Structures are given as C-alpha cells and as structure tokens.
A and B are shown apart, each in its own frame.
Chain A
Amino acid sequence: DAMVIQNPRYQVTQFGKPVTLSCSQTLNHNVMYWYQQKSSQAPKLLFHYYDKDFNNEADTPDNFQSRRPNTSFCFLDIRSPGLGDAAMYLCATSRYDRDQPQHFGDGTRLSIL
C-alpha cells in the first residue's frame, strides 16, 4: 500500500543533543510537510517542501531544519533540543492541488531528558 512512513516511532534524546527524524513516502506526492503537535493542541506547521523548494513558517525556531534529498525522503533536524521541543512530530504529504488532502504518517514521539 502507498503510504507515509516515519522513523523512529519513539525517540528519546538528551537536552542539547542533535536529533534527526525521518519520513519517507511511496505516494509520489510533490509536497511534504512537517508538523509539531503538543498535547491537546492543533498540529503546528513548521515547514514544507514543494518539490525541492523549501518553505519555512515565520515562527519556526532556527533550531529546526529540514532536508529533502529526493522526492521520497524528508528529514527533520533539531540542532539543540530543549525541553519545550518534546512533542509528536508529524510528517504529511500531498499533491499540489488545492482539493487534495494531506496524508499523515504515524508520527514520531520525541522525548527530551
């Protein structure tokens, strides 16, 4: 089945230690998104790629970076995680078409020690 896969499902890192989350897709969608979601809150868009074009949200901290080496893969790098970065990180994909929904992976739950 075509899908969005996130690895790992759970990630524990130490305060200040860089961490990378990965996302892959078999849907061949040209847009990939990274969201941060904290408990009882709406998913918050961090950035997205339209093909290779990177689009950062204005309020995304500089601590968060992303890479998209090819159509299928996208990475979220957190350079120096703080306690406030503990959250669920969601990867989503969509076609570039306003009527097309976004499809989410299972998410990565990030804990900071």
Chain B
Amino acid sequence: QKEVEQNSGPLSVPEGAIASLNCTYSDRVSQSFFWYRQYSGKSPELIMSIYSNGDKEDGRFTAQLNKASQYVSLLIRDSQPSDSATYLCAVRGGGSNYKLTFGKGTLLTVNP
C-alpha cells in the first residue's frame, strides 16, 4: 500500500521565521510531488510541484526532493500569519499512474 507520511503538527513558528514541513513516501517509483495549502473549511490549493532531485524555489517557498531517501520538504521563508493553514503533501506514482496519494497534512500556525 502506497503511503505518504507527514507530521500532523501543529507546527508553530513566529512571524518572519522559516517554517519547515516534511513528507516521506513509500512508493520508490514515485515521479511527481506536490504541495497543497488548505485553509480551514476550504479546498486544497496548489503551491508547489517538484519532479527532480534538488531544490525548487518560488518566491518565499522552496521545495526540496531527495528520491534516494524518499523525502520531500517545503520551506516557507519569512513566514506570515496568512501562511497559517494545513499543508498537504501529494505524491504521484510512476508509469501511467496519474492518481495522487495524499498525506494527512501538517497544520502550521504562524504567530504574529
């Protein structure tokens, strides 16, 4: 069974700090990795995608992927109270599999 694991949190950081969110996955042939942000009572919103080992930066967000360790992370620099949300890690398997497996999410709270 393919699994995606995340610390449920809550992860609490002060405003302006770096928030680090982690995700591990069990399917070694996974090819595509996504981070979604979900505010309470709202639907998931895509914020980052990453496909190759290394870092990918987009504004204050950096996604990091290490396929050998089956590990993907999301760094949020200069955290703002508006970043307070649940962050879902989603993984797509290899080959023709286009379905996503989601982690349960990490609740992030940024304190002013």
Contacts and interface: CB of A to CB of B under 8 A. Distances in A.
B51 A99 contact: yes
Q: Is the interface of A mostly helix, strand, loop or mixed?
A: loop
Contact of A103 (B4, B46, B88, B90): B46
Given A106-B43, A107-B42, A94 B104 contact: no
Interface residues of A, number: 24
Contacts of A48: 99
A31 to B, nearest CB: 7
Contact of B88 (A42, A98, A109): A42
B49 interface: yes
Contact of B99 (A45, A99, A103, A104): A45
Q: Is the interface of B mostly helix, strand, loop or mixed?
A: loop
A43 B102 contact: yes
Interface in A76-109: 88, 90, 94, 96-107, 109
B43 A42 contact: no
A44 to B, nearest CB: 8
A53 to B, nearest CB: 12
Nearest 3 A/B pairs, CB to CB: A42-B102, A107-B43, A104-B43
Nearest to A91: B43
Contacts of B102: 42-43
A70 interface: no
A90 B31 contact: no
A98 B104 contact: no
Contacts of A104: 36, 43-45
Interface in B32-60: 32, 34, 36, 41-46, 49, 51
18 contacts: A33-B99, A40-B104, A42-B103, A43-B102, A45-B99, A45-B100, A88-B41, A98-B94, A98-B97, A98-B98, A99-B31, A99-B49, A102-B46, A102-B90, A102-B100, A103-B46, A107-B42, A107-B43
